[in-house]
Structure 1
Amino acid sequence: MRLKIPLLFILILAGNIVGAQNRIQNLEKAFNNLMADEQAKHAITSLCVLDANTGKTLFAKNEQIGLATASTLKTITAATAFSILGKDFQFQTTLAYSGNITPDGTLKGNLIIIGSGDPTLGSWRYQNKENAVLTQWVTAIKSAGIKKIEGSIIGDDRILGTQTTPEGWVWQDIGNYYGAGTSGLSWRENQFDIHLRPGGSAASDVKIIKTVPETPYIQIVNELKTGSSGTGDRTYAFLPPYSNVAYLRGTWGMGIGKSGISVASPDPAFDCAYRLQDTLKRLGIPSNQQATTARLMALNDQPIPVVTQKINTISSPTLSEISYWFLKKSINLYGETLLKTIALKSGKTATTSKGAETEINYWAAKGIDKSALNIIDGSGLSPGDRITTSAMANILFQSQKESWFPDFYKGLPEYNGMKIKSGTINDVSAFAGYHTDNSGNKYIIVININNYSGSGINKKLFRVLDELK
């Protein structure tokens, strides 16, 4: 008996095939128009589009040229973290003490905050906000019977080493909130705020109102000038890791609609220990030595005290929750911490280079060409990253098969009606992710342009991607 296939079904199927073919032809025309655009005259532009169901390349141009990725690299970092750490992975931060507690409640020893690198500790995005963490610690300290400390508060930041920022990061970025480096004991996403007020006329001095929280141990040198109305925020903070002097340079426009800037904390572990010591002091639990860190103690050839008793442990949100904000808000600190943690989990030293090596080897074992993955950091902030759009697209394709993929996909932002991660650094703009068109065809998209001129390039990238709608 012969099966009868309805003519209408055949016509619909044929129409879909023709429509898909036309869509790719139109995509090619739009891409060629982009490459011919004056803004792309001296640029390298790459596009790789895969069929999300089969992995077949539907269109590709310059897909084997390694390009600076900007924050689209975060898709690879997140996928690797899910694969190696697991979606339920959590960081643990432990509060402990050394020495002993006398009958009158005197701790003859130190309080030690033992970090595991948790980049969310004290963050306003989760339950473990700054005040919530400090309250937990105070409760644990009181429950242990501690009323006075003859010792110090020590931030144990050893687990991720002393190098906070990767090689290749730009000096202009490092002191600003998006250039906050990693720490074995991170705190408040390793940043603080400086509130500013513009002067009454262009080129007049800008006034610093306050820092939030107060940072009396940091000297701020204010070289800011008032910008004319409409110029906005052109302010940069120059504050190296472990320094206590910050220089503010640039302009702060008249009529600006925000209160100030966020700046990278130079020593998050110290700030964390300092906040706990200050909180205890205000509650009548003094300590007779200044707050310090394991790094500072090692620098001064002081031994790190041995823990006598652990009194509190705080678990971070799961990796699924961390990845959501990592991708949605493009938090560079999370990417750098995850890369080091990937190395640590794999039995290697917790360094950026070892994390990148682990990441590259992981995907190479899954068929991705190692030479297509020149990874310098975990966030894409380094202009030295070089990854092909083909490699990134194929990693996105493979990620769909994993049990953690729904959590990964959930974190991707929406731009131009597509679930795609954006990436922007100096003269680099890129997008990477997924899209389903009106006919139900599913695509993986990676588009990247390096060394373009002028502004407003994203609108032109979207014109290309619009052909897949």
Structure 2
Amino acid sequence: MRLFSRNLLLTLFAGMLLATATNHVHSGPSGMDAATRKAVLAKLDKAEGKRGTAGCVIVDLDTGETLLSHNADSPLMPASNMKLVTSITALDQLGADFEFVTRIFGDGSIKDGTLAGDLCIIGGGDPNISGRFHDDDPLALFKDWAAQLKKAGVTRVSGDLKFDSTLFGGEPTSDGWPQDDQYIKWYCAEVTALAFNDNCVGIRVIPTKSGKPAKIEVVPDTAYVTIVNETTTKPGRKGAEIGIVRPRDENVITVKGAVYEEATWGYYTDVTVHDPARYAATVLKETLAKEGISVQGDVKPVTLTHDDVERCKLLVDHRASLVQALQPINTNSQNLHAEMLFRQLGLRYAGKGTFKTGQAAVYAYLKKQGLLTDDICIEDGSGLGRGNHVTANLLVKLLQKVAARDDFDSFKASMAVGGESGTLEKRLTNACVRGKVVAKTGYINGVRSLSGFLFAGERRYAFSILMNNCVYTKQMQDEILEVLAKASE
């Protein structure tokens, strides 16, 4: 194995020269050889260009030695690297054995197949009531719940289907999120305690015959949204030119544009819905009907008290683990899931789950760990807001803390793997780093981040690379890790 520490004086002298030449604060002890440090710093300087700022910290996990520190304490927008703060805080404060609980109660007696009263579902903040872990069938859990209701003797509900999503409060979106028409994008979904299918519907546009309107499918098939079809099918080439509009507080989705005859797979996108808790309850009612359970009344919101719950009969008790929920957050960068977890933290900390209590919970955790400084700003749990500011040093210290936990393997498994999975599937594909980097990516306009772990040779590293207003960002981040991996062989 190649040793980093060759000559302490040469290393320090090279570091001083680089700091003088670039007008940046570069520092690092003898754990990284001069050539490696020079190569990494050169790539950071190239990324910064004329107006960018890059923060980078690389630490040896086994010795705790900081191998490279560049703008380590500069507060920078982290984009989705904020999800590391949220998920590590959750693992510590909620615990690896934490479970999200979704319950369905019957408010009435059951006789001859009829529930004489209302069916009530209470959302517990589970972000994965979807097809994600169920063979891509978004209705899989609802079908299973229908089977449980039948087993309990229910095939007809005389009352309403009521839903309680009051575990979380406050506004469903953050003022710091994009204020243009991006609210229809999956990454801007409204946050609710009762969530379903990432609080989105899938829109598939399929070509028909030239000159005819395209066929539009809604996934899952539901009457909750109204589709206005303003599409046409054009002859020839593959592809589509589709635009989608949904008024902010409505669920009328207008699909415009053209899809081409040769585009056999058509066009697909996910579109957020308004009032997603009602959406979840509506699709549940529709699914129950298809599974042979009729609900005679309407879908209505409700706030159930403790006494109400005590009076009702528990019919479905669905539980999902925190560890499972971390995977979509850290591998696929699912914003809604991170925001729901953020509110769970607020609920645990302050007794109610809102953006403000989520912020307070994370601040309290960082303060307890000795990591909170005046420059740190927590706006949300996903990193979508541009008001979030953290440092590369903070992220690496959090990574060091989670790496020291007994359940580190579970956390590590939640992250994307370079060249193999999630948001890193098409990055870090060179042999020296493929499969050796587990990390969280981040991107919003003008921001690119990458933080995580590199396992190369016998060395284990924690790293954070935050780039604001930089250039060649993905290339430089990947090349920095390649340099480090090759130096560790």
**Does structure 2 retain, via aligned residues, the 8 Å contact 1:194–1:208?**
no
- The answer for the alignment partner of 1:81 in structure 2 is 90
**Does structure 1 retain, via aligned residues, the 8 Å contact 2:339–2:382?**
yes
Q: Evaluate the alpha carbon distance shift between residue 255 and residue 376 of structure 1 in structure 2; reply closer, same or farther with a 3 A threshold.
A: farther
The Cα offsets for residues 13-69 of structure 1, whole Å up to 9 and x where unpaired, read as 9x54229766454334443344345x7332222211222224332222222221111
Amino acid at match of 1:464: I
1:385 aligns with 2:388: yes
Which consecutive unaligned segments of at least 5 residues does structure 2 have?
8-29, 419-427
Mapping of 1:112-261 within 5 angstroms? 112-126=120-134, 130-161=138-169, 163-171=171-179, 172-197=181-206, 207=214, 209-221=216-228, 238=246, 240=248, 243-247=250-254, 259-261=267-269
Which consecutive unaligned segments of at least 5 residues does structure 1 have?
1-11, 298-303
- The answer for the alignment partner of 1:4 in structure 2 is none
**Does structure 2 retain, via aligned residues, the 8 Å contact 1:112–1:155?**
yes
Q: Evaluate the alpha carbon distance shift between residue 239 and residue 161 of structure 1 in structure 2; reply closer, same or farther with a 3 A threshold.
A: farther
CA distance in 1 between partners of 2:258 and 2:370 (Å): 49
- The answer for the alignment partner of 1:95 in structure 2 is 104
The Cα offsets for residues 265-291 of structure 1, whole Å up to 9 and x where unpaired, read as 323322222223223334554333222
The Cα offsets for residues 372-407 of structure 1, whole Å up to 9 and x where unpaired, read as 431111111222211111111111112222222221
SS where residue 464 of structure 1 aligns? helix
CA distance in 2 between partners of 1:360 and 1:46 (Å): 21
For residue 411 of structure 1, the aligned residue among 407, 414, 423 is 414
- The answer for the alignment partner of 1:31 in structure 2 is 41
**Does structure 1 retain, via aligned residues, the 8 Å contact 2:40–2:480?**
yes
CA distance in 2 between partners of 1:385 and 1:234 (Å): 33
1:109 aligns with 2:117: yes
TM-aligned CA deviation for residue 152 of structure 1: 0.9
CA distance in 1 between partners of 2:244 and 2:78 (Å): 23
- The answer for the alignment partner of 1:448 in structure 2 is 466
SS where residue 271 of structure 1 aligns? helix
SS where residue 90 of structure 2 aligns? helix
**With structure 1 as the length reference, what TM-score do the two structures score?**
0.82
SS where residue 436 of structure 1 aligns? strand
1:429 aligns with 2:448: yes
Q: Evaluate the alpha carbon distance shift between residue 367 and residue 24 of structure 1 in structure 2; reply closer, same or farther with a 3 A threshold.
A: farther
1:67 aligns with 2:73: no
TM-aligned CA deviation for residue 129 of structure 1: 5.8
- The answer for the alignment partner of 1:5 in structure 2 is none
Q: Evaluate the alpha carbon distance shift between residue 196 and residue 308 of structure 1 in structure 2; reply closer, same or farther with a 3 A threshold.
A: same
CA distance in 1 between partners of 2:148 and 2:333 (Å): 34
TM-aligned CA deviation for residue 93 of structure 1: 1.0
CA distance in 2 between partners of 1:43 and 1:224 (Å): 43
Q: Evaluate the alpha carbon distance shift between residue 24 and residue 81 of structure 1 in structure 2; reply closer, same or farther with a 3 A threshold.
A: farther
SS where residue 75 of structure 2 aligns? coil
1:345 aligns with 2:355: no
Q: Evaluate the alpha carbon distance shift between residue 339 and residue 153 of structure 1 in structure 2; reply closer, same or farther with a 3 A threshold.
A: same
Amino acid at match of 2:468: N
**With structure 2 as the length reference, what TM-score do the two structures score?**
0.79
Superposition RMSD on alpha carbons, in Å?
3.5
TM-aligned CA deviation for residue 348 of structure 1: 2.9
CA distance in 2 between partners of 1:97 and 1:131 (Å): 21
**Alignment size in residue pairs:** 442
For residue 278 of structure 1, the aligned residue among 283, 286, 289 is 286
CA distance in 2 between partners of 1:151 and 1:87 (Å): 39
Amino acid at match of 1:413: A
CA distance in 1 between partners of 2:83 and 2:64 (Å): 21
Mapping of 1:319-330 within 5 angstroms? 319-330=322-333
For residue 6 of structure 2, the aligned residue among 9, 18, 28 is 18
Query: Comparing 165-174 with 125-134, which one deviates more in the overlay?
Result: 125-134
Q: Evaluate the alpha carbon distance shift between residue 232 and residue 432 of structure 1 in structure 2; reply closer, same or farther with a 3 A threshold.
A: farther
The Cα offsets for residues 290-347 of structure 1, whole Å up to 9 and x where unpaired, read as 222238x9xxxxxx8985211121111x212221232111111211111111121224
For residue 47 of structure 1, the aligned residue among 56, 79, 89 is 56
Q: Evaluate the alpha carbon distance shift between residue 47 and residue 107 of structure 1 in structure 2; reply closer, same or farther with a 3 A threshold.
A: same
